Structure 1
Amino acid sequence: MVILVANFVSLPRAFVWIGVVLSLLTGLAGGLVAGRLTSGGWHTRAIHALLTGLLGGLLFGVTLWFSMSYAIPRAEYSVMWAINYLLATNPLGIQQLPWLYTGNTLGIVLVLLSMGLFAVEGYIAGGAVSQTDHRSQWD
């Protein structure tokens, strides 16, 4: 859901960068939910949240790459537009790593980075969430 909002909803210019930060923190929210719904110790909750973060990061990275390559439309001043603008106007390391900006190489890097970011966020949030007994809610 966050990915759709990040791609198709225009934000006021003052809130675009807040939306970028919030969308990059969705791994924390996914990890929190996965950790709360998983029974077991902190390590089990953290692993489930890590897997949730990997999946969310994959979806986010692929959507970002498709929106950058115009395979899917994106709204102007949306979160994905802002990330694309940031990458287009500040090509980090283009002098040192020119191969990164050829073909689909940048897309692979963006997908892997977003998967890593969301997985780490999910792992931290899933391991840090308190353990609750969900059976007592339904009895």
Structure 2
Amino acid sequence: MDRDAILVGAGADAGLAALAAAVELPEGVRWPAFAVVLAGGFVGGYLAGRLAEGPWRRRVNHGLLAGLLGGAALAVAVRWSFEPGAPSGALWPANYVLATGARWLPPGVAARYDALIGTLAALPYGVLYAAEGALAAGAAPGGEPDAPAVRE
């Protein structure tokens, strides 16, 4: 395992998640910024796969690990964005989707399991980064370093 490749990919993902959680954005920019944040796992996975080199399975493993670490940071950032007083930034749409999409929950359930609902809602965002990281790392260039060039 190439720890540097994993740390660079995870660092890119975690940095994007922290930036999305901490920066206040104007109302018209929040949804496009949210889309960029949701696609951010591709960045970390690509970096991890590109730096790891080697066969595609090795790159996928590095991208998956980077995505898991970056996804954990994104899940924490999303969960933190549900707290009162958090900046209305790129993660505000996640809060909006939970608030408007959870209308089917009985009021007693929402009141009783408030923190748990926020945590469970944040987990899919972290899983998304792991899947994106594996996919992007597998697609990143970086075949066998000692493989001979193929000529037509």
Indicate yes or no: 2:90 matched with 1:90: no
- Gaps spanning 5+ residues in structure 1: where? 135-139
CA, structure 1 residues 74+123, in 2 after alignment: closer, same or farther (shift >3 Å)?
Answer: same
- 1:41 counterpart (55, 66, 72): 55
Q: State which drifts further: 3-12 or 16-25.
A: 3-12
More displaced 10-residue stretch of structure 1: 85-94 or 41-50: 85-94
Q: Which has the higher contact order (CA 8 A, sep 6+)?
A: 1
1:111 shift after superposition: 3.8
Select 2:39's aligned residue among 11, 18, 25.
25
Matches within 5 A, 1:53-64: 53-64=67-78
Q: Answer whether contact 2:48 2:66 (CA < 8 A) is retained.
A: yes
Matching residue of 2:86: 74
CA root-mean-square deviation: 2.3
CA distance in 2, matches of 1:52, 1:93: 35
Partner of 2:8: none
Counterpart of 1:102 (choices 109, 113, 120) is: 113
- Give the TM-score normalised by structure 1: 0.79
- Would the aligned equivalents of 1:74 and 1:80 in 2 still touch at CA under 8 Å? no
| Contact 1:36-1:132 at 8 Å conserved across structures | no
Distance 2:20 2:131 in 1: 21
User: In percent, how many aligned pairs have the same letter?
Assistant: 32
The TM-score, its normalising length taken from structure 2, stands at 0.73
Distance (whole Å) between structure 2 residues aligned to residue 3 and residue 57 of structure 1: 9
Unaligned runs of 5+ in 2: 1-14, 146-152
Q: 2:140 aligns with which of 96, 110, 129?
A: 129
* Shift, 1:33, TM fit: 0.3
Distance 1:89 1:111, change over 3 A: closer
For residues 29 and 59 of structure 1, what CA distance do their matches in structure 2 show? 15
